[in-house]
Amino acid sequence: MFGVTPEQRGTSGFGSRPTPARNAPMRPQPQGQSRNAPRRDPAPSRLAYRLHRMWLTPFVRKIMHVGLPGFLIALTIGIWLSDETRRAQLSGGITGVIEKIQNREEFMVHDMSIEGASPVVDKGLRAMLPVTLPASSFDIDLEALRARVLKLDAVESVELRIQPGGVLTAVVTERVPVVLWRHSRGIELLDKTGHRVASATSRDVRKDLPMIAGEGADKAAAEAMLLLDAAGPILPRMRGLERVGERRWDLVLDRGQRIMLPVDGPLPALERVIALDKAQDVLGRDVAVVDMRSEGRPSVRIGLDAQNAIRRARGQVELGQDGQPLDPEAIKKAEKEKAAKAAPPAKKKNG
């Protein structure tokens, strides 16, 4: 009997016989495949593997998800716009929408307000508007208009804004003329930086302003203003400043007197001249030129009357206006004519 242990076999009287082997059941074979047929390799082919790896790269996925649809859309739009009639209709429609939005009432400018400008500048600024009011604010380029206004010599700065209510406001700061500049082309008014403000027909236009002259004087206007401020005690006698060689200044006084200032340090040199005049009344004497160009050796050139007085005391012939000695006979003749003019007329006797 199968399944009996050796102890049971001894007790039951059966002999020791081996247990017969049982055959295991056979697994069913797949239909259509014989037992000896080779199995199919589940690994992908080389081409399929490469295509799969290529699909996993971000660049290819982005091309397929974004690039290809975008290309198809662009191709469709290009084909649609290839017709000239469609392009004209599209352009006209877009232009009409833009104009309709720009010409809305909330975007219209109806008036212009200008503050701080003289009548001449006010008139010029209004003439610079690129459009005629009322106009759309989109047609007014504030930056371009500001650049054009700053080209006016009399304007130092300007602020342009479009206020609510359709008002274009302009706050103008004009240049203040502080000096007159005489040069070979005429007379011009300059501000403290030497920038041109306006032209003048004559000196009488602004008698309250000091005068500077010479080529290049406008570039050194700031230095000229410092010299004018330092010339306070002699300012009533001052006729102006003259630029010499575009390098230095000459201060011109009445009676033909001239103070020649150095290239470097003209302000201290002028202060020394003023101090010398207070101490010794140098400018009140017959002095033609005070030369301060040499700092270590200032010099003074006396006038013609003083020179002739010295020459008369020495018994020498007097000098003329040209610096040449005069003819003694001509001097005597001139003195007689001067005395005759100064003598009272003789009274006629009654017959």
Predicted confidence (pLDDT) per residue in 267-301, tens digit = 999 999 999 889 888 888 888 889 998 877 888 88
Q: Please give the share of the chain, as a percent, with pLDDT higher than 70.
A: 77
List of residues 6+ apart from 185 with CB closer than 8 A: none
Pair of tokens at residue 351: 């017959």
Q: Tell me what pLDDT residue 2 has.
A: 47
Checking if the pLDDT of 38 tops 80, the result is: no
Checking if the pLDDT of 306 tops 90, the result is: no
Query: Distance between alpha carbon 307 and the CA centroid of its chain, in Å?
Result: 56
Q: What is the pLDDT of residues 124-154, one digit of tens each?
A: 888 888 888 888 888 888 899 899 999 988 9
Higher-pLDDT residue of 78 and 22 is 78
State the pLDDT confidence band at 345, using cuts at 50, 70 and 90: low
For residues 348 and 351, what is the distance between their CA atoms, to the nearest angstrom? 9
State the pLDDT confidence band at 233, using cuts at 50, 70 and 90: confident
- Assign 73 to helix, strand or coil: helix
Q: Tell me what pLDDT residue 159 has.
A: 92
| C-alpha distances out from residue 297 to 79, 91, 291, 307, Å | 92, 83, 9, 21
State the pLDDT confidence band at 1, using cuts at 50, 70 and 90: very low
For residues 337 and 328, what is the distance between their CA atoms, to the nearest angstrom? 14
Q: Tell me what pLDDT residue 17 has.
A: 65
Inter-axis angle of helices 221-230 and 266-280, nearest 10: 20
State the pLDDT confidence band at 243, using cuts at 50, 70 and 90: very high
Q: Please give the share of the chain, as a percent, with pLDDT higher than 90.
A: 24
Mean pLDDT to the nearest integer, 59-69: 88
Are 239 and 254 in contact, with CB atoms under 8 Å apart?
yes
Checking if the pLDDT of 3 tops 70, the result is: no
Q: What is the pLDDT of residues 148-203, one digit of tens each?
A: 999 988 999 999 998 888 889 999 999 999 999 999 889 999 998 899 998 888 88
Half-sphere exposure of 266 (CA within 13 A, CB side): 25
Q: Tell me what pLDDT residue 109 has.
A: 87
Using a CB cutoff of 8 Å and minimum separation of 24, what contacts does 139-147 make? Answer: 139/102, 140/109, 140/168
User: How many angstroms separate the most distant Cα atoms in the chain?
Assistant: 220
Q: Tell me what pLDDT residue 322 has.
A: 61
The region of weakest confidence among 40-44, 119-123, 204-208, 237-241 is 40-44
Looking at every residue in the chain, the average pLDDT score rounds to 81
Q: Tell me what pLDDT residue 351 has.
A: 43
